Structure 1
Amino acid sequence: MEFRYLGKSGLKVSEITYGNWLTHGSQVENDIAAQCVEAALTAGITTFDTADAYANTAAEKVLGKALKHQRRESLEIFTKVYWPTGPKGPNDVGLSRKHIMESIDGSLRRLKTDYVDLYQAHRYDVETPLEETMQAFADIVRQGKALYIGVSEWNAEQIRAGHALSKELGFQLISNQPQYSMLWRVIEDQVVPTSAELGLSQIVWSPVAQGVLTGKYKPGAELPPGSRATDEKGGADMVKRFLNDEVLTRVQLLQPIAHDLGLTMAQLAIAWVLQNPNVASALMGASRPEQVESNVKAAGVTLDEGILARIDEALGSVVVRDAKHTVSPETRPV
């Protein structure tokens, strides 16, 4: 496993982060989830990412139980706040001081830890003054409940405003967690340059485009049974943007590139996001330990300019690049 600094901080994270969105507490039985975490640890992964909203707090509990016997100082544990949790009352959502301060305590209880290494604003809250949100984060850092603060899916303007306030309040934003893959490159034009200027790294989610870049979805074919595209708990909604014959036909053109490199298509996809110098880590989920064991082999892989050009040529115009797709909800979700 290779390690990279997260933003302009002294914190190092593993190039592959194990994440449990859509798996722990939901799609995957707890014993299998524990086996996946163990496989991640065995492979050298030290960085683990979750959120209070995943499976309505159940995912944090599963991860906390799976990690409880590990040396805490040897791990980087990340979680997030924003989406509705609990009974989903009017203050069980967003980035108000009330919700943040209550949420961090709940996350720490479920994760069985005194602190998280990174606490992230899961989206931008248009209904809370940014000053209120950043002051709450500053207080959490001073209380020792979070060592660092990050954001997720904030656009360049929001990152710049949040960074300025964090400096005034005596801490710094060090990361952003956006969707990023060969097919979804909307952060490249504005978010990445702004982050690089201000000292934030990207921790990217869905580097395999919800499984599409594994090549398992074939143009004109039935959806594979048990795949994310058939999961009505949330996975199907996320993946459907890529499930058209034009995209799937282009993705199949990546197979010979991966073959020439001795990589699986999933390994190629994960290695591709790690070529971006502003990416500190790629988030990887798993429903089976074997997926962990295979995908971690993308760490440390270098793709030369010729390979990157072949990938661009293969995918052509199906790549989504428009920065306008980096958006947070216009109102708080309920």
Structure 2
Amino acid sequence: MAHSIDELGTPVAQQQFDPHWQAATDRYNAPGAVYRRTGRSGLDMPAISLGLWHNFGDERSIERQRAILRTAFDLGITQFDLANNYGVPYGSAEANFGRHMDHDFRPYRDEMIITTKAGYDMWEGPIGAGGSGRKYMLSSLDQSLKRMRIDYVDIFYSHRFDETTPLEETIGALDQAVRSGKALYAGISSYNPQQTRRAVELAREVHLPLIVNQPRYSMLDRTVEDGLIETCGDLGLGMAVFSPLAQGLLTSKYLGEDRIPAGSRAADQRYLDAGSLTDERITHLRALNDIAQERGQSLAQMALAWLLRDARITTVLVGASSPEQLRDSVGALNALDFSDEELARIDTHSRAAAI
């Protein structure tokens, strides 16, 4: 069985599972157990999926990670989204996820959608510098499988469009990953409408199950509305959107008097520039928060519901620094309908606060 030896040399198949934890027996009646078909494929994704971009590297407590993952699965969340370079240092999110697979989740592997990506710099030398060439993509996938201690991923993504590599080669690498049994499906991430259309054309020529595009999308970043949503809908691709809370701007974190709280991404200048927290933007974010409160939601819940109101959005990828934060996100599924008046108000303030 491939990739079945842990760092101590113990065969995974011989390891004992943690006898003190079992997944909730009612997990498919839990609040997060809402599923959508991925485009025209046969794969059902949870409407809210857990992304491991943040909070699963070596700088985070293993016990906190375990609590978040257990909570996600018990809530009905079955998709766990990773990439080769997630975590601090690179690769640590996958390595830690592999530990959690052995500790808790291996008995449930057939219920889980585990994804990874390759595209950015990862190891020394010109090949490891990233891109979408066959050597880099397939070597990266082998490394990811070893770190996660699994035989295959459910979706292997080209993490970014690489203008220096023929798209035919990238699609060929994804096709080889699927034909080898190391991935069940293929995906693309951050491809624009024209790149997406060409990728699907090439995939169909070789009968590659390219089923999903993963773009950035939130109330404050609506680039995908310039044709990508329609393109994916026309082509039968699902959409798994990341950064749905705009790196925390669409939460209550920055709305108080202490505008940049300690430990936040803005305070640490991690993925969010503190200079973006202008008085004008905060005013519009507070107005959006008022709308959310009128709806009986947190701002984060409304932001997720606003995305999921469109049936072409298969899933939103949320991060979580605690089980409580994840439960709050799942609460978005309780109210996905919006009135025309609410949508108009949201449109006004979200466009004014756009990043």
- TM-score normalised by the chain length of structure 1: 0.90
CA distance in 2, matches of 1:242, 1:7: 35
Aligned with residue 353 of structure 2, among 311, 318, 332 = 318
For 2:135, the equivalent position in structure 1 comes to 98
- Relative contact order, higher structure (CA 8 A, sep 6+): 1
Asked if the contact 2:68–2:323 (Cα under 8 Å) also holds between the matched residues in 1, the reply is yes
Asked if the contact 2:220–2:351 (Cα under 8 Å) also holds between the matched residues in 1, the reply is no
Q: Could you tell me which amino acid in structure 1 is paired with residue 197 of structure 2? A: R
Q: Mark the CA change 1:98 to 1:316 in structure 2 (over 3 Å): closer, same or farther.
A: closer
Structure 1 residue 200, shift from structure 2 partner = 1.0
CA distance in 2, matches of 1:142, 1:239: 42
CA distance in 2, matches of 1:266, 1:58: 27
CA distance in 1, matches of 2:332, 2:86: 26
CA distance in 2, matches of 1:77, 1:113: 10
Asked if the contact 1:28–1:287 (Cα under 8 Å) also holds between the matched residues in 2, the reply is no
Question: Percent identity over the alignment?
Answer: 39
For 1:21, the equivalent position in structure 2 comes to 53
CA distance in 2, matches of 1:27, 1:194: 39
Map Cα deviations across residues 196-216 of structure 1 (whole Å, 9 max, x no partner): 111112111111111111132
Q: Could you tell me which amino acid in structure 2 is paired with residue 190 of structure 1? A: G
For 1:201, the equivalent position in structure 2 comes to 238
Question: Is it true that 1:265 corresponds to 2:299 in the alignment?
Answer: yes
Q: Mark the CA change 1:262 to 1:192 in structure 2 (over 3 Å): closer, same or farther.
A: same
Q: Could you tell me which amino acid in structure 2 is paired with residue 287 of structure 1? A: S
Aligned with residue 217 of structure 1, among 246, 254, 261 = 254
The DSSP-based 3-state class of the residue aligned with 1:149 is strand
The DSSP-based 3-state class of the residue aligned with 1:94 is coil
Q: CA RMSD in A?
A: 1.7
The DSSP-based 3-state class of the residue aligned with 2:186 is strand
Map Cα deviations across residues 22-59 of structure 1 (whole Å, 9 max, x no partner): 22115522221111111111111001001001121111
Q: Mark the CA change 1:241 to 1:301 in structure 2 (over 3 Å): closer, same or farther.
A: farther
Asked if the contact 1:177–1:202 (Cα under 8 Å) also holds between the matched residues in 2, the reply is yes
Q: Mark the CA change 1:191 to 1:212 in structure 2 (over 3 Å): closer, same or farther.
A: same
Map Cα deviations across residues 132-172 of structure 1 (whole Å, 9 max, x no partner): 11111111111111111111111111101111100111113
The DSSP-based 3-state class of the residue aligned with 1:54 is coil
Aligned with residue 75 of structure 1, among 99, 104, 112 = 112
CA distance in 1, matches of 2:191, 2:275: 21
Question: Is it true that 1:122 corresponds to 2:159 in the alignment?
Answer: yes
For 1:49, the equivalent position in structure 2 comes to 81
CA distance in 1, matches of 2:275, 2:190: 18
Q: Could you tell me which amino acid in structure 1 is paired with residue 99 of structure 2? A: K
Query: Can you give the 5+ residue segments of structure 2 that lack an aligned partner in the other structure?
Result: 1-32
Question: Is it true that 1:31 corresponds to 2:78 in the alignment?
Answer: no
For 2:28, the equivalent position in structure 1 comes to none
Structure 1 residue 8, shift from structure 2 partner = 1.1
Query: Can you give the 5+ residue segments of structure 1 that lack an aligned partner in the other structure?
Result: 321-334
Aligned with residue 255 of structure 1, among 286, 289, 314 = 289
Map Cα deviations across residues 171-220 of structure 1 (whole Å, 9 max, x no partner): 13211111111111110121111111111121111111111111321388
Asked if the contact 1:50–1:59 (Cα under 8 Å) also holds between the matched residues in 2, the reply is yes
Question: Is it true that 1:89 corresponds to 2:125 in the alignment?
Answer: yes
Asked if the contact 2:285–2:353 (Cα under 8 Å) also holds between the matched residues in 1, the reply is no
Map Cα deviations across residues 297-330 of structure 1 (whole Å, 9 max, x no partner): 112532223322221233343336xxxxxxxxxx
Asked if the contact 2:281–2:352 (Cα under 8 Å) also holds between the matched residues in 1, the reply is no
For 1:8, the equivalent position in structure 2 comes to 40
Q: Mark the CA change 1:204 to 1:107 in structure 2 (over 3 Å): closer, same or farther.
A: same
Alignment coverage as a number of residue pairs: 316
For 1:296, the equivalent position in structure 2 comes to 330
Asked if the contact 1:2–1:300 (Cα under 8 Å) also holds between the matched residues in 2, the reply is no
Q: Mark the CA change 1:107 to 1:193 in structure 2 (over 3 Å): closer, same or farther.
A: same
Asked if the contact 1:21–1:54 (Cα under 8 Å) also holds between the matched residues in 2, the reply is yes
Q: Could you tell me which amino acid in structure 1 is paired with residue 126 of structure 2? A: P
Q: Whose radius of gyration is greater, 1 or 2?
A: 2
For 1:164, the equivalent position in structure 2 comes to 201
For 1:323, the equivalent position in structure 2 comes to none
CA distance in 2, matches of 1:251, 1:308: 15
